[in-house]
Structure 1
Amino acid sequence: MSLRDVARLALATAAWRGLGSDRAGRMLIEGLGAEDEGTQVAAGMLIERAGGRDLVRQAIQRGEQLPIALTLLGDLGRAEDRPLLRSFLDHAEPEVARAAESALALMAARGIRDDEADG
């Protein structure tokens, strides 16, 4: 991962958080699908630290970067996100279905259940 990639993602995070820029949010989501694993990890960490749960949910609903976005939602998610994750368990792409299963398992390990109101 280059310094340029890090700077671009950091600026996108600031613009998304500070200005609510949809374009900047999309840049972060695109970073999740970068060829370079370091860029993927950096994008995920920045989204997580910026409180990007809603950004990740929107990406999932648009079908963007599904495996990694589903996994990230497992880390960021709340009880009300479990139905969205479950909707991908029978996905045609095995990698997507596995990511949804892993995300649900992660949420369960964190003690997040369907019957829980997580505010």
Structure 2
Amino acid sequence: MDEASKQTIESYINDTLKDEIKRLDQYIQMYNEEIMEFVQLKNSIEALQKNPGEGIKTKMNIGGRNFMTAEVSSTDKIIIDVGKSCFVEFTIEEAIKFLNFKITVLTKECQVVRDESIKQRSNVKLTMVLS
């Protein structure tokens, strides 16, 4: 293989395949962050479920990293952002069911992106071996 071909292959690896891997890794990180947010929310709701009917005291973000003390007298129903700034009122049981579904869907979507990332990494190694 001549030097020009090797440079073309190296350019293809660096400009195309590695950029695609970086993009996929960013998507994986975004999915993982979103999954963690839903898991944390689910854990908080399950803690509420252990003490039904009791109110809670909390700090509420009012914007700009400013917080104020809030008291919630009833935790029978909660409001969750289901996406695109659309909020839905759920009972505790419905919320947990929704969150389990959302976590499962996001995990499967993330796995598809992971599989594609693995495929791209294999392509880089194969291209390097063949050159």
For normalisation by structure 2, the TM-score amounts to 0.24
Q: Which has the higher strand share?
A: 2
Q: Report which structure shows greater RCO (CA 8 Å, sep ≥6).
A: 2
Structure showing greater Rg = 2
Q: Which has the higher helix share?
A: 1
